[in-house]
């Protein structure tokens, strides 16, 4: 059974369920721009680094900036397997190849987002409720279950604000725009999210599902993952 809340040491080739929320439960994602900024930061560090192309007539990227971006890149150290962003929290399924990959990834993403958020809202101070929580996923069967749990989090609260009024806009997990569920339904093609380790598990074990969507919607699937939180 994974350690509750925060693991004390991280392992090479470990898979982790990571989550946190805004301090005092405050909203941390209030617009599409906010969601996109967080995901852009994730992609920046897990995607393979490519220098910006040189365009004739325009200044090229300064060499020291290019070297810094390359040094900060974590491609080959960390993979994001699934995510779901909610107005006041986030959920990630992350695999790391090195002992420090996930720690570096989370520090860079969360610090970068706080800098963006504080500049946008002209504020100072922390944004997250302490350090993020990380639970180690012990096997691929559990990883499959965790991915389902993450994607179903969007059903807990799918709300948009229109002035002082809050309205539920959808009750279907596939309609929620800020999770990796649609990427899974598309087979994980042409994306920075690595769905393949999870999708390979669909045909394993006693039950076989024709698609990931069928697995997520299957009411027979029992998951005790929430009991660990």
Summarised one tens digit per residue, pLDDT across range 52-103 is 655 555 566 566 555 666 567 788 999 999 999 999 999 999 999 999 999 9
Residue 10 confidence (pLDDT): 81
50-59 burial, b for 16+ CB within 10 Å, e for fewer? eeeeeeeeee
Asked, for residue 123, whether it belongs to a domain, the answer is yes
Range of 179's domain? 14-221
- Contacts by residues 106-112 (CB-CB < 8 Å, ≥ 24 positions apart): 106/18, 106/132, 108/41, 108/45, 108/72, 108/74, 109/38, 109/41, 109/42, 109/45, 110/20, 112/41
Asked, for residue 95, whether it belongs to a domain, the answer is yes
Dihedral of CA atoms 175, 215, 157, 82 in degrees, nearest 10, equals -80
Residue 71 confidence (pLDDT): 60
Asked, for residue 229, whether it belongs to a domain, the answer is no
Residue 159 confidence (pLDDT): 46
Residue 2 confidence (pLDDT): 44
Strand partners of residue 160: 167
Name the residue with higher pLDDT: 106 or 71: 106
- CATH no. for residue 116? 3.30.70.1290
Residue 206 confidence (pLDDT): 53
Q: What is the pTM of this model?
A: 0.83
Residue 74 confidence (pLDDT): 87
Q: Which of 91-100, 184-193, 215-224 has the lowest mean pLDDT?
A: 215-224
Q: Residue 42 belongs to what H/E stretch?
A: helix 32-46
Distance CA 23, CA 208 (A): 41
Asked, for residue 2, whether it belongs to a domain, the answer is no
Residue 207 confidence (pLDDT): 55
The 3-state DSSP class for residue 91 equals strand
Spatial contact of 198 and 206, defined as CB atoms under 8 Å apart: no
Asked, for residue 7, whether it belongs to a domain, the answer is no
Name the residue with higher pLDDT: 225 or 140: 140
Residue 46 confidence (pLDDT): 94
Most confident of 9-13, 27-31, 170-174: 27-31
Q: Residue 103 belongs to what H/E stretch?
A: helix 101-121
Asked, for residue 214, whether it belongs to a domain, the answer is yes
Domain count, the chain: 1
Asked, for residue 3, whether it belongs to a domain, the answer is no
Residue 155 confidence (pLDDT): 82
Asked, for residue 124, whether it belongs to a domain, the answer is yes
Q: Given its phi and psi angles, is residue 167 left (phi above 0), alpha (psi -120 to 50 degrees) or beta? A: beta
């Amino acid at each position: 059974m994974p350690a509750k809340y925060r693991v004390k040491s991280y392992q090479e080739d470990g898979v982790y369920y990571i989550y946190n929320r805004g301090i005092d439960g405050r909203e941390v994602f209030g617009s599409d721009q906010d969601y996109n900024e967080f995901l852009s930061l994730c992609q920046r560090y897990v995607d393979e680094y490519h220098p910006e192309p040189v365009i004739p007539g325009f200044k090229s990227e300064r060499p020291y900036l290019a070297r810094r971006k390359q040094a900060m890149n974590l491609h080959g150290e960390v993979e994001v397997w699934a995510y779901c962003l909610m107005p006041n929290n986030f959920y990630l399924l992350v695999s790391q190849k090195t002992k420090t990959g996930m720690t570096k990834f989370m520090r860079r993403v969360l610090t970068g987002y706080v800098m963006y958020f504080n500049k946008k809202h002209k504020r100072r101070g922390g944004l997250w409720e302490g350090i993020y929580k990380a639970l180690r996923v012990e096997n691929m069967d559990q990883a499959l279950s965790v991915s389902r749990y993450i994607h179903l989090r969007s059903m807990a609260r799918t709300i948009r604000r229109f002035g002082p009024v809050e309205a539920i806009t959808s009750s279907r997990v596939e309609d929620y725009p800020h999770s990796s569920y649609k990427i899974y339904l598309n087979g994980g093609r042409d994306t920075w999210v690595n769905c393949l380790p999870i999708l390979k598990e669909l045909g394993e074990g006693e039950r076989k599902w024709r698609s990931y969507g069928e697995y997520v919607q299957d009411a027979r699937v029992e998951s005790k993952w929430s009991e660990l939180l």
